[in-house]
Amino acid sequence: MIWNEAKECMSREEMNALQSKRLVKTVDRIYHNVEHYRKKMQDIGLEPGDIKGIEDLHKLPFTTKSDLRDTYPFGLFAVPQSEIVRVHASSGTTGKATVVGYTRRDIEIWSECVTRAFAQAGLGREDVIQIAYGYGLFTGGLGAHYGAENLGATVVPMSTGNTKKLTTMMKDFGATAIACTPSYLLHIAETLEADGDLDKIKLKAAICGAEPWTEQMRKQVEQKLNINAFDIYGLSEVMGPGVACDCIYHKGLHVYEDHFLPEIIDPETLQPLPEGEVGELVFTTLTKEGLPLLRYRTRDLTSITYEKCECGRTLARISRFKGRSDDMLIIRGVNVFPSQIEAALLEMGETAPHYMLIVDRVNNLDSLEVQVEVDEKFFSDRISELEKLSKKIATVIQHAIGLAVKVKLVEPRSIERSMGKAVHVIDKRKLV
Ligand code: DLL
């Protein structure tokens, strides 16, 4: 097992000194290499020399998803493109994706962080790990893959989509661990149960994340599969999976704060909140070369504690997530903003700008139904016309968000109008 005491059990003073040193270096590099940040700092009269350590963190400007959108695709990169060895992308709030880039060193550090997470779950060289996050632009598959390989485990790059093949290989290869979204794990568990295969597997751990899940759900899946289930957190902007992960005590997720400096702020006032209070998680990257970020607002709501964990680690711990401070939905691990669907619908022209997203979870799989009001001009009594239109809408939306949806056309003026903030989402899943 890889247990890195030097990095994970430092005293608070040692950790803060390391963070300060890395922060000063990061700010200096960002100022000189990223025009967008230089302007942002100049606008508030800040020079790199003003940041002498983490006590000056609050002076730095925040970064949001819109900074990435405004500089799409590579405008926030702090190195020449020739030094970027990989890009990933996730959903933006409107049509454009959020693009992130990594240098070779970034990939090494990312792998190290994921390795630390797997090690926290008690995994090592003897293990056979199935990676069942999606491979591709999403950071889940390749991120977990590199970490598991770096651990020295035997890696089975399943990706998502073929559950029968996955369960067959789980039995045949004697897989001892799986990395996937929690809802997919539940689906896998049900498939194994339905096939009478629960006692034919050797699974001992699951490393699940990319979407919110409850403690009850974690315990349920542990019982069903007779395993230990771990919660891994991350976001593509900051790196991908492996920014934080819980340990065998399941009392919060250890943040790899030698690489990612966490803060909790009040999302309204933007002021830092004291230890233990729930607010928005903000990260400043401390070692990233390709896409270093200052005070990135994750929109994820949680609280933080600096108390030493029973496992011996002194790393800060964040609690299970309490939701988000924006309207992003996570459906089957895919990030979806209602505004993406709205933009796609409006671009088509045949629908009214009134829609409702119904999110549900059936047999542990998320489903999304989009109810759309058809524009009066296009409303027809002919079923075949409406079917054609709903198919077209489903294709347009799938293209926009990368997820298959069910479209239900409704009559003009049938979606309830709101007096205040429009309600566009009914989320029937009980996640937090
Ligand atoms: O979901 C990276 C990842 C992959 C994490 C695999 C863990 C495992 P994004 O697609 O950029 O990156 O989505 C990031 O997903 O801001 C959270 O809202 C949510 N999220 C990620 N992990 C968790 C978790 C990946 N363990 C967004 N619990 C984040 C709750 C999570 N929400």
Residue whose CA is at the smallest distance from ligand 1 atom 6: 140
CA–CA dist 292, 106 (Å, integer): 10
The stretch 330-348 carries a mean pLDDT of: 87
Please, are residues 106 and 146 in contact by the beta-carbon 8 Å criterion?
A: no
Assess whether pLDDT exceeds 70 at residue 39. Answer: yes
Residue-level pLDDT at 214:
83
Other CB atoms within a 10 A radius of the CB of residue 143 amount to 28
Tell me: pLDDT of 136 over 60.
yes
pLDDT at 216 over 70: yes
Per-residue confidence (pLDDT) for residue 417, from 0 to 100 = 74
Binding pocket residue ranges, ligand 1, CB within 6 Å = 90, 133, 139-140, 209-212, 231-236, 240-241, 298, 300, 321, 324, 330, 335
Answer whether residue 240 shows pLDDT above 70. Answer: yes
Which pLDDT tens digit goes with each residue over 5-30?
Answer: 778 999 999 999 999 999 999 999 99
Q: 247-273: per-residue pLDDT in tens?
A: 999 999 999 999 999 999 999 999 999
Q: List, for residues 280-290, the tens digit of each pLDDT value.
A: 999 999 999 99
Alpha carbon of 405 to ligand 1 centroid (Å)? 21
Write down the mean pLDDT value for the chain. 92
Tell me the whole-structure pTM to 2 decimals: 0.90
Task: Report which ligand 1 atom has the smallest distance to the Cα of 236.
Answer: 11
CA of 391 to the centre of ligand 1 (A): 30
Please tell me which residue, 230 or 338, carries the higher pLDDT value: 230
Mind listing the pLDDT tens digit for each residue in 402-426?
A: 999 999 998 887 888 766 556 789 9
Q: What pLDDT score was predicted for residue 418? A: 65
Output the CA–CA distances (angstroms, integers) from residue 100 to 44, 71, 107, 329, in the order listed.
26, 11, 12, 20
Summarize the chain as % helix, strand, coil (round to 5).
35, 25, 40
List the alpha helices (DSSP H) in 80-162: 104-120, 139-151
* Dihedral, 8, 10, 14, 18 alpha carbons, nearest 10: -10
Distance between Cα 322 and ligand 1 center (Å): 13
Residue that the structure tokens 């349920």 belong to: 220
What's the pLDDT at 3? 58
Span of 102-111, 199-208, 364-373 with lowest mean pLDDT: 364-373
Q: How far apart are CA 134 and CA 126, in angstroms?
A: 24
d(CA 358, CA 407): 10
The answer to whether residue 239 scores a pLDDT higher than 90 is: yes
- Rounded mean pLDDT of 180-193? 91
- The number of the ligand 1 atom at minimal distance from the alpha carbon of 207 is 8
User: What are residue 170's phi and psi, to 5 degrees?
Assistant: -60, -45
- Ligand 1: which of 139, 238, 298 to mutate, judged by most atoms within 8 Å of the beta carbon? 139
Q: For atom 30 of ligand 1, which residue has the closest CA? A: 212
Q: What is the pLDDT of residues 352-380, one digit of tens each?
A: 768 899 999 888 889 999 999 887 777 67
Residue 421: predicted pLDDT: 59
- pLDDT reading at 190 higher than 60: yes
Q: Residue 211 Cα, ligand 1 centroid: separation in angstroms?
A: 5
Q: How far is CA 386 from the centre of its chain?
A: 36
Region 304-327 average pLDDT: 94
Ligand 1 mean position to 235 CA, how many Å? 5
Angstrom CA distances, 402 to 96, 137, 326, 382, stand at: 12, 11, 20, 30
pLDDT in tens, 46-68: 999 999 999 999 999 999 999 99
Of 110, 178, 221, 233, the one to substitute when testing ligand 1's pocket (max ligand atoms within 8 A of C-beta) is: 233
Cβ atoms within 10 Å, residue 125:
10
Rounded Cα distance between 353 and 339, Å, is 11
pLDDT value for 1 = 42
Atom index in ligand 1 nearest the CA of residue 138 equals: 10
**Atom nearest to 133 CA in ligand 1:** 6
Query: Which ligand 1 atom lies nearest to the CA of residue 333?
Result: 1
CA dist., res. 44 & res. 47, Å (int): 9
| CA-based nearest residue to 221, from 193, 196, 249 | 193
